[in-house]
Amino acid sequence: MTPGACNSRRLTHVSAAATLRGAASSSSASTDGRASPPLAFGTLRRLPPAAGVPPKVSTRDPSGQLLLRGQEQSFPATLGKVESVSLAAMHPKRHANPNATRPTLRNRDMDALVRLAWDAGWWCERGGNNHVKCYPPNNSRMVPIPSTPSGSRTKANKLAALRRGGLGA
């Protein structure tokens, strides 16, 4: 093996490692000569949007509401899902228990109401008498959702109570 061949293999190995660590650090080090701090293995760094790539068009606004056709908004490519969730108001218990999951109900309509409240940052917990108690982010209300609806208009009435608590506002 010649020394030149050995050097080429080493260079190939180094470039592959730089690709794994992040293309941004390797490119900046090669172009302007300044050495950026090395990233730990597995660190993800978002690349800047390439020129000519159209911005992302979202069919939902930052609060998660569906937008009608023609009302779609363009968000910067760096605004990912994590940032939009952290911007939304959430109940203090949701902050304290980030891994908590919402209670589920067998009835499809009632479960949809609980899911709607949970997705909006409300805190939902099981209460007495087969009810799920839902609290808005400002903790100023309590809306009990029954496990089974008592009538055909239960969903509309519960939805009205949730909306007065700020759901969808």
Partner 1 sequence: MARVHPLDTAGNDGTTTANAVLFVAFREPVPRDQLEAVTLRLQEVLDEYAADAEGASASANFATSEIEIDLSLVSDSISAVHETIATVVRALELHGGIDSATLGPSSRSATAPAAEMTVRSSETQLVAA
Residues lying near partner 1 in the complex (CB under 8 A) are found at: 127-129, 131, 133, 139-144, 146, 149-161, 163-165
Shortest Å distance, C-beta 101 to partner 1: 22
Of 112, 107, 113, 118, the C-alpha closest to 148 is 107
Based on CB atoms, which residue is closest to partner 1, 76 or 168? 168
Based on CB atoms, which residue is closest to partner 1, 95 or 153? 153
The string of DSSP codes covering 154-168 is: HHHHHHHHHHHTTTT
Of 56, 50, 98, 61, the C-alpha closest to 75 is 56
Shortest Å distance, C-beta 144 to partner 1: 6
Whole-number Å distance between alpha carbons of 156 and 51: 48
Based on CB atoms, which residue is closest to partner 1, 116 or 159? 159
Whole-number Å distance between alpha carbons of 28 and 66: 40
Whole-number Å distance between alpha carbons of 74 and 77: 9
Shortest Å distance, C-beta 154 to partner 1: 4
Tell me how far apart the 2 most distant CA atoms of the chain are, in Å.
85
Shortest Å distance, C-beta 162 to partner 1: 8
Based on CB atoms, which residue is closest to partner 1, 25 or 147? 147
